[in-house]
Amino acid sequence: MAPFFPTALLACFLSPWQPQQLSGRTISRTAHLARISHAAPTIPTTLQLSSTTANAANAIDSDLLVVIREGIVEQGFELSAWELAIDALLNQFPTDDTASLTREQAEWALAQAFGWRSWAKASKLVKKFQKTFLPTPEEIEAAISWSTQGPLALSTSTLLQAVQTHPQLYLKQPQASYQKCVDTVPAGNLKDTLHELIAQDPAVLGNTFNCAMGDDGCRSECGNCWVSYKIKNNID
């Protein structure tokens, strides 16, 4: 069964924000979200949501992989270069290890991380405006190396989960996402336990915006916003 998500809260995230009038005074967007969150039933944590929705969204589509391979050739790339990228990812998770990938899983992760899945699903018109490229083995190796040896120091099993559920965050310049995550995380317990949070829930690395910081306010970045994350997880 899909996780329950209150319609009112979802509508608030997806629709443009307009200041709300309440008893003759204007309330801020953050306060408005807080009112909704207190009135709504308890929402599953981000970790609970990601463990179900991410796995469902990342189910391998073998037929689409065929379309992707054909598209790679149509776009003027060498299919052998794509195979080398797959090999590079597989080499980071040896088959004799408890944490390993199949070749199809590795290819599917790369297809998502570098936009080929969305390209294959796009219309002919949209494809004309999409920029496509193939990752190099060096890029893949650097991303994996940073995730395990950099500040996150993720274990092989944790990184494997992250690559399968959120490949775009962990295979495509994860250090850039990490820096934005660090720069926007609210002070206090979230900041102090950031590395632990990411290890528990790889999706946290995607929190790269904070509408409560600066003067920009909401920029329709709710899916990547720390304020939304705090509300969804009932964090003060």
Rounded Cα distance between 56 and 210, Å, is 27
pLDDT of amino acid 55: 56
Rounded to the nearest integer, the mean pLDDT of the chain is 81
Q: Note the pLDDT tens digit of each residue in 125-153.
A: 999 899 899 999 999 999 999 999 999 99
pLDDT of amino acid 186: 94
Whether the per-residue pLDDT at 50 is higher than 60: the answer is no
Whether the per-residue pLDDT at 41 is higher than 60: the answer is no
**Residue among 123, 137, 127 nearest 72 (CA):** 127
Sign of the dihedral defined by the CA atoms of residues 218, 175, 166, 186, in that order: negative
**Residue among 148, 168, 169 nearest 99 (CA):** 148
25-27 and 20-22 as β-strands: parallel, antiparallel, unpaired?
Answer: antiparallel
Q: Give percent of the chain above pLDDT 70.
A: 74
Sign of the dihedral defined by the CA atoms of residues 190, 191, 192, 195, in that order: positive
Q: How far is CA 43 from CA 121, 204, 231, 233, in A?
A: 31, 17, 9, 7
pLDDT of amino acid 4: 46
Whether the per-residue pLDDT at 17 is higher than 70: the answer is no
Rounded Cα distance between 37 and 57, Å, is 26
Instruction: Point out the least confidently predicted range of 6-20, 66-80, 201-215.
Output: 6-20
Rounded Cα distance between 39 and 28, Å, is 17
Whether the per-residue pLDDT at 10 is higher than 60: the answer is no
